[in-house]
Amino acid sequence: MHVAGPHEPPDDADLIQRSWQDAEAFARLYDRHAALLHRYVARRLGDGVADDIVADAFLDAFRRRRKYDLKVRDARPWLYGIAANLIGKHSRAEVRMLRAYARTGRDPVRADGAVSGDEIDSRLSAQAVQRDLAAAMAALPAADRDVLLMIAWADLSYREVAAALHIPVGTVRSRLHRARAKVRAALGGYDPTALREEPVQ
């Protein structure tokens, strides 16, 4: 049970509850989470689409704020879950962009379309790995991709991903396992000893 002391900054649930009476308090939730949510969406769909999805996700969340379960003090699973629904509508575009990247080495998601090989860890032949990875991610079912990226990019726990996507934790586990197996298979040509299972929780 959470009881905020007088000097403790409000957590997400506090802000949402406050917004029930003072709607503008919801803007603080935006200030707190919009940037990282935007980056997450931009990594999947590019920053132009991310602008719209983040704005829509917060509008959607604002309208649903009275239904929010105050037991969940961190609103990220809720926000990423709402965003996941909106991302899902762009699923074909996401796959198309991943395939284009795999095929051409130019990533449509990045504004200049540049290959970012210089900035990628050079222990592996970065660009080739990136392209294979893009192909592998394009081949994943959308539901598996959601789970994989919520864990790898949004740093949500299994439990949080389960809450975000309204699926059992066991389903999160099995989808993640499947997604990682496919990614490893796609990367099979690269230093196999470097690719190992890593517990994420």
Partner 1 sequence: MTDLDLIRDFRADVPTPGTARLAAGRARLLTTVRAERPLHRRLPSRPWRLVAMGAAAAAAVAVAVGFLVVPATRPAARHLTGASPSPSASSASVPVTQAEVAARILSTAASTVTRAPVKSEPAPDQWIYHKTVQYGQPGVVSPAGLSTSEDWITFDGSRTAYYQGGQLIVHDTVGGTHATGLSPVAAFNANATPKTAYDAIASLPAAPNALLAAVDKAIAQDGGIASVAAGSPISAVAPKTKGEGEFDYLILLLWNAAGGVGAPSAAQAATFRAMAAIPGVTIQQEVTDAAGAKAIGVSADGGYDQLLLDPVTYQVTGLRQLSTGIGPIEQGPPRGTLDLSLAYATVMEVASPGAR
Which residues would be at the binding site for partner 1 (CB under 8 A)? 1-4, 6, 10, 14, 17-18, 20-27, 30-31, 34-36, 38-39, 42-43, 47, 50-51, 54-55, 58-59, 62-63, 66-71, 107, 109-110, 116, 119-121, 123-124, 129-130, 133-134, 137, 148-149, 151-153, 180, 183-184, 187, 194-198, 200
Element (H, E) at 77: helix 76-88
Separation CA 26–CA 32 (nearest Å) = 10
CA 54/CA 60 separation, integer angstroms: 10
Minimum distance from CB of 4 to partner 1 (Å)? Answer: 6
Q: Nearest distance from residue 167's CB to partner 1, in Å?
A: 20
- Please, which residue, 3 or 166, has the CB nearer to partner 1? 3
Query: Are 183 and 195 in contact, with CB atoms under 8 Å apart?
Result: no
Burial class (CB in 10 A: 0-12, 13-18, 19+), 140: buried
User: How far apart are CB 88 and partner 1 at their closest, in Å?
Assistant: 19
In the complex with partner 1, the residue whose CB is nearer, 162 or 186, is 186
By beta-carbon proximity to partner 1, the closer residue of 18 and 173 is 18
> Alpha-carbon distance 57 to 79, whole Å?
7
Closer of 68 and 95 to partner 1 (Cβ): 68
Instruction: Provide, for the chain, the percentages of residues in helix, strand and coil under a 3-state DSSP scheme, each rounded to the nearest 5.
Output: 70, 0, 30
